[in-house]
Amino acid sequence: MNVLESLEPFFVAPENTNSQCSFGDFPTKITFQDSDAILYGIPLDITTTFGKGTSHGPEAIRITSAKQIESFLLDEKQEIFEKIKIYDLGDLTLVNSKANYNNEKLLENNLKSISKINKINSLIRQEKKVPIILGGEHTLSYFSIKSIANENPIIIHFDAHRDMKPIYERKKICHTTPFFHLIDEGHIKGDNIIQIGIRQSDKEENDIAINSGVYTFTGWDINKNLNAVTRKIRKLTNNRKIYITFDIDVYDICFVPCTGTPEPFGLNPFQITEILKSINKNTELIGIDMVEVAVKNSDYREGTLATQTLYRIFSSFY
């Protein structure tokens, strides 16, 4: 059995998902063999507590990437899909992706499905390809980062929130806790995590971040002195493997009309682009997740922002 045949049983093909198309919707389909990166969706929306809608994240990104037919990045003078070849596996099969928060059994079963990320990403990395996950809620990053932790990467975590609580509403593994457990279980050291755009945290998780050596650049740091931030990021990423976990709510509340917990004091697309460009050129990208993207009432602004952000992440490495 080849790698693609081992992966396919976990997925609903892109044309059978809500988007009915694959990422970019390229006229000539890229083969698994020829691809640099393997993209898949995880439409999970169970432990989100405030606003719902993340189960539509993969669909929002696929649809906008298909509708925006221009893939030439004017800022980089780069035809992005000539640089990176992406194969879309579709969406991971879940029991029921948007059940009631208090349905413990269903949550448990879905966490079991999501833990397949470990096997999936290992197979993708074995082929020297880069996994790209479209979320879904941030919970999935716990599994995804665990799966590549043996490669000793720097984790660049874009988010308004630290997501570093030990437990939240009696749930250990949920959307506000992944980074606590990654550190606590010894998968990633705190000083291998860079948190960017943070502006909401409780005192306990703030102490956890500081005591474990996590590098933090808050929304205020970035607004005050972006140059100082990008200089530091260039240094920290020197000669490292990089995993990017991108919560769309790192953007200011005015850019993200659909995500569950939008926050003020956030970043704008120009600041995000500058930060992405400051990642050292001698790095290797080993994984991306783009999480907490949602659609409400056919409002695809957030999907568009997520798509364009993904293109800038690609162009920082390819």
* H helices present in 68-166, as ranges: 80-83, 104-114, 117-126, 139-148
Length of the chain in terms of residues written: 318
DSSP category for residue 71:
-
**CA gap 214, 193 in Å, rounded:** 5
Cis-peptide, bond into residue 136, ω within 30° of zero: yes
Is the Cβ of residue 109 or residue 257 nearer to Mn ion in the bound state?
Answer: 257
Kindly tell me which of 56 and 161 has the beta carbon lying closer to Mn ion: 161
Q: Which residue ranges make up the site for Mn ion (CB under 5 A)?
A: 159-161, 247, 249
What are 113's two structure tokens? 């499905």
Which residue, 35 or 55, is less far from Mn ion as judged by CB? 55
CB 175 to Mn ion: min, Å: 8
Q: Beta-carbon neighbour count of residue 70 at 10 Å?
A: 8
Smallest distance, Mn ion to C-beta of residue 161, A: 4
How far, in Å, CA of 296 to CA of 302, rounded? Answer: 10
Q: Which is nearer to Mn ion, 158 or 317 (CB)?
A: 158
How many other CB atoms are found less than 10 A from the CB of residue 239?
A: 8
**Site of tokens 């999970």:** 44
Considering the complex, what minimum distance in angstroms separates the CB of residue 262 from Mn ion?
Answer: 9
Give CA 142 to chain center in angstroms. Answer: 11
Give the shortest CB-292-to-Mn ion separation in angstroms.
6
- If the CB atoms of residues 143 and 179 are measured against Mn ion, the closer one turns out to be 179
Smallest gap from residue 135 Cβ to Mn ion (A):
11
CB-nearer residue toward Mn ion: 88 or 159: 159
Distances (CA, A) of 182 to 145, 169, 209, 290, 303: 8, 19, 12, 18, 28
Residue 88 or 247: the one with the smaller Cβ distance to Mn ion is 247
Smallest distance from Mn ion to CB 267, Å:
12
Of 138 and 146, nearer to Mn ion (C-beta) is 138
**Cα–Cα dist 209/207, whole Å:** 5
- The 10 Å CB-count burial string (b at 16+, else e) for 213-232 is ebbbbbbebbeeebeebbee
Say whether 226 sits in a helix, a strand or coil. Answer: helix
Cβ at position 159, least distance to Mn ion in Å: 4
C-beta closer to Mn ion: residue 134 or 160: 160
CA 227 to CA 204: how far, in whole Å? 30
Tell me the closest approach of the beta carbon of residue 63 to Mn ion, in angstroms. 23
CB of 201 to Mn ion, least distance (A): 11
Give the tokens for residue 141. Answer: 């990053």
